[in-house]
Amino acid sequence: MQRSQVARLEKVELRYQELGKLLSDPNVLENRQLLEKYSKEYRELEDTVFLWQKYRKIQNEVRKLEDILGDKKETPEIKELAEEEKKTLKSELAEIEKELSYLLRPDDPYSHRNVIVEIRAGAGGEEAALFAADLYKMYTRFGEKRSWRIENINHRPTGRGGFKEVVFAIEGRDVFSTLRFESGVHRVQRVPVTESSGRIHTSTVTVAVLPEAEEVEVEIKPEDLRIETFHSRGAGGQHVNVTDSAVRITHESTGIVVQCQDERSQHQNKIKAMRVLRAELLQRKESKQQREISKQRKNQIGRGERSERIRTYNFPQGRVTDHRIHLTLHNLEDILNGEMNTLIESLQREMREERVVVGKEQT
């Protein structure tokens, strides 16, 4: 490991220890804003410090084994065992070094952000809407298993229990870094409930995962906003809104339209709609070329065509295939019930290795 990396890791560990003390300081405990800030930073450093401490511990074990190998009094049998153990530990050190190199890369400023998730039915009509509902359940169940907080923002249901569109926020630890690779077109192959002949249909759903923006990151001029209110469309009965509580906001400069109808309060709906608008504007702000702004969403989720897919969910064969990393899993039902760990971790590992290689090439 390079000296510069060791120096950075030692600095990270010192900061981690400092934060541990600050989090038990009565003055910090009484300041909610400061407590949240330090707690977040402490959690962000946790994995790096744990790996660095493990790395040093293994290094010490390797040195002890080298002492045994250099000891003329030790028997050949003991030295043989020591040599085998040393090889195993050296291999483990190499893996940890690779992981630490990734963790020390220039940090993605959005990796620890909460997210806005937008799911929309693509090609396939009612069947696509039904699968949009399946994906919504998949992500919310996955989030619940991780103790994330799910907050609905807007939804457009269909009569058969599907969604033409569903927008929701997810808050929790490392949400964006976990879900960022879910953006794209998801393809489903199954026999629709509306199909009497038993033919398999192919439908698509688009997913966009947007990091939440801080208010100071994007400038929104009041004169750029057109705010409209309307009756929200409920399922009937006691949940129907009889007031104009739903809010639609149009950002005149960019043409972005967002809306929220899930709260009974017009004020709360406006707050949620503004969160979505900020996330949309942040995404556009980060575009490398201004002329590509209007295409940013298309670049991320495509047009919903069947050929533009990142993943296929094949019901007859019970499999899920991620086409980006050529991974096929045969536990579709479990995945749709939120058991996404293998899928997510495989994606993160492949993308991480790809970034490390790119980083080396650039240096």
Mean pLDDT by 10 residues, the chain (363 residues): 86 94 94 89 90 95 94 91 94 90 69 88 92 96 94 89 93 89 93 76 93 76 86 51 75 88 82 87 64 45 58 95 94 96 89 54 41
* Residue with token string 């879910």: 182
Cβ-contact 115, 210 below 8 angstroms: yes
Angle at 331 between CA 179 and CA 345, to 5 degrees: 30
Q: How far is CA 61 from the centre of its chain?
A: 37
CA distance 314 to 190: 6
pLDDT at 295: 47
Asked if CATH classification 3.40.1010.10 holds for the domain at 112-363, the reply, yes or no, is: no
pLDDT at 296: 43
CA distance 181 to 315: 22
Residue 143 CB neighbour total at 10 angstroms: 22
Dihedral sign computed on CA atoms, order 235, 238, 244, 246: negative
Q: What is the DSSP letter of 249?
A: E
Domain locations along the chain? 3-103, 112-363
pLDDT at 93: 94
Question: Residue 112 has which token pair?
Answer: 């620890």
Q: How far is CA 72 from the centre of its chain?
A: 55
pLDDT at 306: 46
pLDDT at 174: 84
pTM value is 0.65
The CA distances from residue 324 to 303, 328, 354, 361, in Å, are 18, 11, 12, 21
What's the half-sphere exposure (Cβ side, CA atoms, 13 Å) at 211?
23
